[in-house]
Amino acid sequence: MNDPIKFYRSKLTLTTQQGNIAYYYNELMYVIYENAYCWLYFSDGKSYNVDVPLKYIMENIPQQPFFKCNRKEIINLCYYKEYQEYPSTVVLENEKTFKLSARNITPFKKKKAGLYRLSPLCPKCYDCPENETCSDFQMFCLPHKPVTQEEIDER
């Protein structure tokens, strides 16, 4: 039997009843674990369910810019719109909201502060000062300077 999902350097491939479907990581908006399936939601509005644990997906997708909000949800920070302090929720560009668990609030702020704004249409960061010399061969820039606590609090 084929694996329901395969991970590569810059994309993932889903095995569905209709055949294999490939997406780049920057097209994956979020993942929700529900009823023993992971539902993957993409920027083209399509969603697919795969029979794998959320932990498996989290271990295989790139560290940047994905973030695990709670036990059931992973978001792509490329699509981040805003953070609402009370209740602790993250809103994506499509207005979908995700609840942050209490222990993930500070890690979320640190991770968000360390990422440059990314274009979901292009693998290059459009406001990264070093986008021409970026050494990250995935599609996401890593921070080019250490992030201070003041920068975290500002965002």
pLDDT digits (tens), the chain, 155 positions: 356 677 666 788 888 767 788 888 888 999 999 988 899 999 899 999 888 888 888 888 887 789 999 999 999 988 888 899 888 999 998 999 999 999 999 999 888 876 655 444 444 444 455 555 544 433 444 443 444 556 545 55
Specify the pairing of strand 19-24 against strand 28-34.
unpaired
CA dist 54 and 43 (Å) reads 19
Q: Considering the entire predicted model, what is its pTM?
A: 0.72
Contact (Cβ atoms closer than 8 angstroms) between residue 92 and residue 79? yes
How far are the Cα atoms of 43, 78, 147 from residue 27, in angstroms, in the given order?
A: 5, 9, 27
- Distance in angstroms (rounded) separating the CA atoms of residues 35 and 105: 26
pLDDT at position 75:
94
Q: Which of 80, 71, 69 is nearest to 29 (CA)?
A: 80
- Quote the CA–CA distance of 68 and 100 in Å, as a whole number: 9
Q: For 139-143, which contacts have Cβ atoms below 8 Å and span 24 or more sequence positions?
A: 139/10, 139/24, 139/25, 139/26, 140/25, 140/26, 140/62, 140/64, 140/65, 140/78, 140/115, 141/64, 141/115, 141/116, 142/64, 142/114, 143/114, 143/115, 143/116
CA dist 14 and 3 (Å) reads: 8
The CB density around residue 100, as the number of other CB atoms within 10 Å, is: 23
